[in-house]
Amino acid sequence: MIFPLIPFVVVATLALSTVASPIFEYAVKHSWATTPLGWEHHGTPAPDHPIDLRIGLRQDKIDDLIDALYRVSDPFHSDYGQHLSKSEVESLVAPHPTTLSIVHEWLESHGIDLSSVSYSPAQDWLSFRIPIATAEEMLSAKYHTFRHTESDELVVRTLSYSLPKQLLAHIDVIQPTTMFDRMNKMRTNYILDTSGSSATTIDPGLTVKGPAGQDIPLSCNTTVTPYCLQLLYGTAGYVPQAADKGNKIGIAGYLEQFVNFEDLQLFFSQFRPDAERANVTVVSVDGGLNNQSVPGVEANLDCQYTEGLTYPTPNIYYTTPGTAPTINDSVTPPQRDEPYLDWLNYILSQEDIPQTYTTSYGGDEQTFPMDWAVRVCGMFAQLGARGGSVMFSSGDGGVGAGTCQTNDGTNRTLFQPVFPATCPFVTGVGATYQIAPEKGVYFSQGGFSVYFPRPAYQNMAVPPFLQKVGTTYTGLFNPAGRAVPDVSALGLGFQVVVGGAVESVGGTSASSPTFAGIVSLLNDQRIASGKPPLGFLNPMLYSIGVSGFTDILLGNNPGCNTSGFNATEGWDAVTGLGTPNFQVLKSILG
The answer to whether 130 is annotated as binding is: no
Select the more confidently predicted residue: 296 or 337: 296
Q: What is the rounded average pLDDT of the residues 63-68?
A: 98
Q: How far apart are CA 477 and CA 121, in angstroms?
A: 39
How many CB atoms are located within 10 Å of the residue 527 CB? 20
Which residues, 6 or more positions from 154, have their beta carbon under 8 angstroms from its beta carbon?
42, 145, 146, 147, 148, 324, 327, 331, 332, 333
Q: What is the pLDDT of residue 146?
A: 93
Q: What is the pLDDT of residue 326?
A: 29
Per the residue annotation, which of 140, 198, 219, 509 is the catalytic one?
509
The answer to whether 102 is annotated as binding is: no
Select the more confidently predicted residue: 325 or 410: 410
**Whole-number average pLDDT of the chain:** 89
109, HSE (Cβ side, Cα atoms, 13 Å): 15
Q: Picking from 1-15, 163-177, 210-224, 317-331, which range would have the lowest pLDDT averaged per residue?
A: 1-15
Instruction: Reply yes or no on whether 153 is catalytic.
Output: no
Q: Whole-angstrom distance between the N-terminal and C-terminal Cα of the chain? A: 20
Q: What is the pLDDT of residues 257-282, one digit of tens each?
A: 899 999 999 999 999 999 999 999 99
Per the residue annotation, which of 74, 181, 298, 486 is the catalytic one?
298
How many CB atoms are located within 10 Å of the residue 544 CB? 15
Q: How far apart are CA 302 and CA 80, in angstroms?
A: 30
* 586 closest CA partner among 312, 241, 323: 241
Q: What is the rounded average pLDDT of the residues 319-328?
A: 53
Tell me what percent of the chain is helix, strand and coil, each rounded to the nearest 5: 30, 25, 50
Which residues, 6 or more positions from 174, have their beta carbon under 8 angstroms from its beta carbon?
29, 53, 54, 55, 56, 139, 161, 163
Q: How far apart are CA 417 and CA 368, in angstroms?
A: 12
Instruction: Reply yes or no on whether 338 is catalytic.
Output: no
Q: What is the DSSP letter of 220?
A: G
Q: What is the pLDDT of residue 322?
A: 60
Give yes or no for residue 566 having a pLDDT over 90: yes
**Residue 111 burial by CB count (10 A; 0-12/13-18/19+): exposed, middle or buried?**
exposed
Element (H, E) at 572: none
Q: What is the rounded average pLDDT of the residues 279-298?
A: 92
Per the residue annotation, which of 302, 307, 342, 364 is the catalytic one?
302
Give yes or no for residue 475 having a pLDDT over 70: yes
The answer to whether 322 is annotated as binding is: no
Q: What is the pLDDT of residues 143-191, one digit of tens each?
A: 999 998 887 888 899 999 999 999 999 999 999 999 886 555 433 333 3
Domains along the sequence of the chain with CATH: 26-60+95-180 (no CATH), 186-328+335-589 (3.40.50.200)
Q: What is the pLDDT of residue 397?
A: 92
The residue type at 425? F
Q: How far apart are CA 350 and CA 348, in angstroms?
A: 5
* 315 closest CA partner among 274, 275, 282, 351: 282
The answer to whether 342 is annotated as binding is: no
Q: Phi/psi of residue 95, each to 5°?
A: -75, 155
Q: What is the pLDDT of residue 193?
A: 41
Instruction: Reply yes or no on whether 60 is catalytic.
Output: no
Q: What is the pLDDT of residue 332?
A: 39
Q: What is the rounded average pLDDT of the residues 10-35?
A: 63
Q: What is the pLDDT of residue 23?
A: 58
Res. 382 pLDDT band, cuts 50 70 90: very high
Q: What is the rounded average pLDDT of the residues 191-213?
A: 60
Q: Strand 315-319 and strand 249-253: pairing? A: parallel
Select the more confidently predicted residue: 190 or 139: 139
Contact 171, 57 (CB under 8 A): yes
Report CA-CA distances (Å) from 110 to 35, 50, 230, 320.
Answer: 29, 15, 59, 32
Q: Picking from 177-191, 296-310, 386-400, 487-501, which range would have the lowest pLDDT averaged per residue?
A: 177-191
Select the more confidently predicted residue: 504 or 194: 504
Give yes or no for residue 293 having a pLDDT over 80: yes
Q: Strand 389-393 and strand 427-433: pairing? A: parallel
Q: What is the pLDDT of residue 22?
A: 46
